[in-house]
Amino acid sequence: MYETKYHLKDISKKTFLITGGAGFIGSNIVEYLLKYGAGKVRILDNFSTGSKKNIEGFINNPAFELLEGDIRDLDTCHKALEGVDYVSHQAALGSVPRSINDPITTNEVNITGFLNMLVAARDAKVERFIYAASSSTYGDHPGLPKIEDQIGNPLSPYAVTKYVNELYASVFSKTYDFHTIGLRYFNVFGPRQNPNGAYAAVIPLFIQSAINGEGPVINGDGETSRDFTFVENAVQANIKAMLFNDLFRDEVINIAFGERTTLNQLWDQISKVTATSFKPTYKDERKGDVKHSLANIQKAEILIGYKPLFSIAAGLKIAVDWYTNH
């Protein structure tokens, strides 16, 4: 991956911190930065959802540094930020169902941990703080496509935490002259995304079902739609947000491909890629889920030059190949 270089700056003397760097999106950001010669890439991860398998290919790289720790501990955050120029904060507890089952832990990680990171980054005087925001912030707002300044009421504890992140980032930016950029991800998928466990995302679950010779379980009638976004598009957004010269203020921007796919259409595409023909099983819709999601990505294009290069079809081929061989 990463045949395309997304930045122009010399990063050979820069230090990057990727929180959640052993996770799905975080480890892909790490891979990109190491490939293109970053001076140092430090990750902070407690491995609660991240995996050491995701970073085993980086361990022997002299520019790579692993700090095992928890963002809920402020001292750990200060230690992680020592000498850091740029932060990509990916550490979080994802999943709407997880947050409904355990709102307290989701709050501790996603809000307390986020605030700790903001404080430590402010004190370290980092050049820029990029963080993983979420399309769940749009809540019950019915408009499509989703536009950054038009949000509704949150539909889950997870959505509440991600919205609070945006509020804190904005306050820090205004109060401390501190530059933050939130990337509202829309259903990111691709290599290293965990297909196992109670809170696995839909695409790895569907791919795993196809590989295992089974039909998937679909919550609802399958007409729920999402703007599925291949992980390299998300990596591009992080790199450009960190290194884009002319962005020096608080911003929140949508990161997506800009097309809507239903779950039924998704299974059809995966069936074609894997040459399978199994039928889905339909169950009740999940609490807290948004019915339809589609991003307007013009703001990202204007502010950081974001241009998604991978459609869902292209991304699925890469993802299926990766899961088949892992």
Contacts of 210-214 with C-beta under 8 Å, sequence gap 24+, read 210/270, 210/271, 210/274, 210/276, 210/278, 210/320, 211/274, 211/323, 211/324, 213/276, 213/278, 214/278
Q: For strand 261-262 and strand 225-226, is the pairing parallel, antiparallel, or unpaired?
A: antiparallel
How far apart are the C-alpha atoms of 31 and 209, rounded to whole Å?
A: 28
Structure token pair of residue 69? 């720790």
Read off the tokens for 3: 């045949």
User: What is the distance between the alpha carbons of residues 320 and 326, in angstroms, rounded to a whole number?
Assistant: 10
Taking the whole predicted model, whether its pTM rises above 0.85 is answered as: yes
Where are the domains positioned within the chain? 15-187+231-257+296-308
Q: In the 8-state DSSP scheme, what is residue 146?
A: B
Chain centroid, CA 53 distance in Å: 18
Cis previous bond, 145, omega within 30: yes
Active site residues: 158
Q: Provide the residue-wise pLDDT of the chain in tens; the chain has 326 residues.
A: 889 999 989 999 999 999 999 999 999 999 999 999 999 999 999 999 999 999 999 999 999 999 999 999 999 999 999 999 999 999 999 888 999 999 999 999 999 999 999 999 999 999 999 999 999 999 999 999 999 999 999 999 999 999 999 999 999 999 998 899 999 999 999 999 998 877 789 999 999 999 999 999 999 999 999 999 999 999 999 999 999 877 667 999 999 999 999 999 999 999 999 999 899 999 988 887 778 999 999 999 999 999 999 999 999 999 999 999 98
CATH code for the part of the protein at 15-187+231-257+296-308: 3.40.50.720
